[in-house]
Amino acid sequence: MLRILNYIKSLMWDLDLSARSRFLQIIQRLSRIIYVVIRDLTDGQLTLRAMSLVYTTLLSLVPLLAVSFSVLKGFGVHNKIEPMLLNFLAPLGEQGVEISTRIIEFVNNVKVGVLGSLGLLLLLYTVISLIQKIERAFNYTWNVSQSRSFIQRFSDYLSVIFVGPVFVFTAIGITASILSAPIVKDMQTIEGLGTLFELMRKSVPYLLIIIAFTFVYVLIPNTKVKVKSALIGAFIAGILWGTTGWLFASFLLTSTKYIAIYSAFATLIFFLIWLYLNWIILLIGASIAFYHQNPEYISPEKVSLKISNSARELLTVQIMRVVSQRYSDMKKEVSFDELVQQTSVPSIILSQTIDSLERGGFLIHTCEDNVRYYPAKPLDKIKIIDVIRHVRSDGINYHIEESIKSDDAGIVSLFKTMDRAANQSLKNMSFQQLINETEQNKNQHVK
């Protein structure tokens, strides 16, 4: 068995298919992505986060549906919530109908209009906490350490809560209207077309799930996710969702023994398992989107996201030099993709370093879809030594820093000497001076 596994692994990683057909290359890349996603699942972090999301969902499901119900009531489509919930819980069979009925009763009992200001704020907080937990899980998948700011979180989350349901139910309504149109019904009577329309009708729920997953993958992580990568992750997650639902429903049909053992608790247990499976599928899709967008992390062994302190200092100064050079020469900003090409480092590490420079007040990004970066201050005011000091101190734990200070005078003197040497060598050198010296060296070399 081990020999077979080693052979499959060699086919995925050692076999060079660059001269073979495009189809074989895609199959090899897809198999590599599946391999690293399974490796991440066995690592345990994704499953732990899925379990955490199940607990948060139990607390937030009714408030979330209550808020969505209130929003959709203004558009006259609030009655669509129950059929959609029934569809989501369909793999649970009769238990799904019972759970759906109970949830809708709870939602109807939540009177948003009579909650008062404090009650409404608590209701929104419960819903926002769910989306915040989802963001943290997605940020882990995308190796993003920096969460959204409070203001950004509030605005983005509210857009998901209020605008998301409207778009979803609008799409469902438009699809239903098209399929029920007289001309479509007439076309279904034509031989051949009827089968095609029936296939389309059955595929609509999967298509809507894929669109919803794509929306979540693009919007929720606190990083720029390409639509193509999100769509690929959503497509595979959508297929997994449909297949898992069918398998789970088949399992429940043969689970009379478990129902007899757990009695009244069986419904709750199956509901928790189904929620867990859904969160796992959603996180698997996010992981697939991450690896598709960042192929440099696809390797037989897990790629470490840590770099040495000296490498981080070098990367920080290099980023500042590239941004400063562009701004000095052309008064233009630099895009993230250009920085990836200039530095040749993984995008996640680059993103973390740029975030650090923004926190330090050295870089600013433009407020547009294609984010671009430019210096936060005049170049002659940005000192190289200040940038290096910032990257050394960014993210430190001051409590721990205080506890590891040395009382040895010799060690303290040694590090003070090193700091004085660095300060003396760089003096008050700014990035404007660095650019000027670089240009002078180029001109002398040409001569």
Whether 13 is in a domain gets the answer no
CATH of the domain at 408: 1.10.10.10
Q: Indicate whether 303 belongs to any domain.
A: no
- CB proximity list for 70: less than 8 A, separation 6 or greater: 112
- pLDDT for the residue numbered 233: 92
Same domain (yes/no): 320, 277: no
Same domain, 204 and 59: yes
Residue pair 89/99 in contact (Cβ under 8 Å)? The answer is yes
Q: What is the pLDDT of residue 339?
A: 84
Question: How far lies 138's CA from each of 50, 71, 133, 207, 396, in Å?
Answer: 11, 26, 9, 22, 24
- Mark whether 106 and 237 lie in a shared domain: yes
Alpha carbon 4 to its chain centroid, in Å, reads: 34
- Indicate whether 251 and 325 sit together in one domain: no
235, 265, 297 - which closes a domain: 297
Same-domain pairing of 329 and 270: no
Are 99 and 233 contained in the same domain? yes
Which residues are registered as beta bridge partners of 364?
374
Work out the number of other CB atoms within 10 angstroms of the CB of residue 213: 24
pTM for the complete prediction?
0.69
Over the chain, what HEC string results?
CHHHHHHHHHHHHCCCCCCCCHHHHHHHHHHHHHHHHHHHHHHCHHHHHHHHHHHHHHHHHHHHHHHHHHHHHCCCCHHHHHHHHHHHCHHHCHHHHHHHHHHHHHHHHCCHHHCHHHHHHHHHHHHHHHHHHHHHHHHHHCCCCCCCCHHHHHHHHHHHHHHHHHHHHHHHHHHHHHHCCHHHHHHHCCCCHHHHHHHHHHHHHHHHHHHHHHHHHHHCCCCCCCHHHHHHHHHHHHHHHHHHHHHHHHHHHCCHHHHHHHCCHHHHHHHHHHHHHHHHHHHHHHHHHHHHHCHHHCCCCCCCCCCCHHHHHHHHHHHHHHHHHHHHHHCCCEEHHHHHHHHCCCHHHHHHHHHHHHHCCCEEECCCCCCEEEECCCHHHCEHHHHHHHHHHCCCCHHHHHHCCCCCHHHHHHHHHHHHHHHHHHCCCEHHHHHHHHHHHHHHHHC
pLDDT of amino acid 131:
79
Residues 323 and 233 in one domain: no
Assess whether 85 and 197 both reside in one domain.
yes
Residue 11 lies in a domain: no
How high is the pLDDT of residue 202? 67
64, 154: one domain: yes
If asked whether residues 60 and 205 sit together in one domain, one would say yes
Check residue 269 and give its pLDDT. Answer: 81
In a domain, 215, yes or no: yes
For residue 173, the model assigns a pLDDT of 58
User: Does 302 reside within a domain?
Assistant: no
Domain that holds residue 430: 309-446
Residue 154 maps to a domain: yes
Structural domain ending residue among the three candidates 256, 274, 297: 297
Q: Which of 297, 317, 345 is the last residue of a domain?
A: 297
Per-residue model confidence as pLDDT tens digits over 59-70: 777 777 776 666
Distance (Å, whole) CA 259 – CA 398: 54
Total number of domains constituting the chain? 2
pLDDT for 2: 58
- Looking at the fold, whether 350 and 269 belong to one and the same domain comes out as no
Task: Give the chain's residues under pLDDT 50.
Answer: none
C-alpha to C-alpha distances, 341 to 310, 317, 350, 396, nearest whole angstrom = 21, 16, 11, 29
Checking 84-88 for CB contacts under 8 A at 24+ apart, the result is 84/169, 84/172, 87/205
Is residue 26 included in any domain, yes or no?
no
The answer on 161 and 203 residing in a single domain is yes
Query: What residue type is assigned to position 359 of the chain?
Result: R
- Asked if residue 16 is part of any domain, the answer here is no
